[in-house]
């Protein structure tokens, strides 16, 4: 079964100041685009966005020539919860890519490998315009530790 990579549009492919800003005028993030193309070459890819205007999202994807995706989840709040819907539609999501560490923590909760995409301009959440300081990194660390503890204590598994 090929890998399925689920990309958040916000913060990975589209440079939005706030996730709730309309995507129509958002510039693309070229490094995110490079990662997208690499994932597309090795597996199936999907997109998730908390944006609710499907026409605007599709127009932006077409304008930026982001194509070849296998599934698109629009209006997902929180974005990482789209993993459940994709599973119900038959996708085996193996990777979740998002710029928000709290979304990465949610993906870990679902048992999905998470990649927190960090663009150099906004490497720290408090550097983003209009953002209040967040404790998302602690959430990510906490969920990672909970997963490690659960795995270590699972007697059904043979640990080597």
State pLDDT tens for residues 120-159: 765 556 655 555 555 567 777 787 788 778 777 877 766 5
Comparing CA positions, the residue from 3, 1, 30 lying closest to residue 15 is 30
Rounded to 5, what percent of the chain is helix, strand, coil?
45, 20, 40
Query: What is the pLDDT of the chain when averaged over all its residues?
Result: 85
State pLDDT tens for residues 30-48: 999 999 999 999 999 999 9
CATH architecture of 4-153: 3-Layer(aba) Sandwich (3.40)
Quick one: tokens of 91? Answer: 């996708």
SS3 string, 42-78, reads HCEEEEEECCCCHHHHHHHHHHCCCCCCCEEEECCCC
- 11 pLDDT above the threshold of 60: yes
Listed range (86-90, 116-120, 138-142) with the worst mean pLDDT: 138-142
Q: CA-based diameter of the chain, in Å?
A: 52
Distances from the Cα of 36 to the Cαs of 20, 43, 72, in angstroms?
A: 22, 11, 14
pLDDT on residue 132 = 57
- What is the arithmetic mean of pLDDT over 89-108? 93
pLDDT on residue 22 = 86
Comparing CA positions, the residue from 108, 133, 103, 130 lying closest to residue 118 is 103
pLDDT on residue 33 = 95
Radius of gyration over every alpha carbon of the chain, rounded to an integer in angstroms:
16
- What is the arithmetic mean of pLDDT over 61-68? 94
């Amino acid at each position: 079964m090929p890998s399925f990579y689920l990309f958040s549009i916000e913060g990975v492919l589209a440079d939005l100041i706030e996730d709730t800003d309309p995507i129509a005028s958002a510039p693309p993030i070229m490094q995110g685009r490079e990662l997208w193309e690499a994932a597309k070459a090795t597996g199936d890819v999907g997109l998730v966005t908390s944006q609710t205007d499907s026409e605007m999202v599709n127009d932006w994807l077409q304008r930026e020539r982001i194509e070849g995706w296998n599934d698109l989840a629009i209006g997902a709040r929180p974005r990482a919860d789209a993993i459940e819907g994709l599973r119900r539609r038959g996708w085996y999501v193996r990777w979740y890519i998002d710029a928000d560490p709290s979304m990465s923590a949610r993906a870990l909760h679902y048992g999905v490998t998470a990649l927190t995409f960090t663009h150099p301009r906004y490497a720290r959440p408090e550097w983003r315009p209009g953002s209040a300081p967040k404790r998302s990194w602690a959430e990510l660390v906490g969920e990672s530790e909970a997963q490690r503890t659960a795995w270590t204590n699972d007697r059904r598994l043979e640990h080597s």
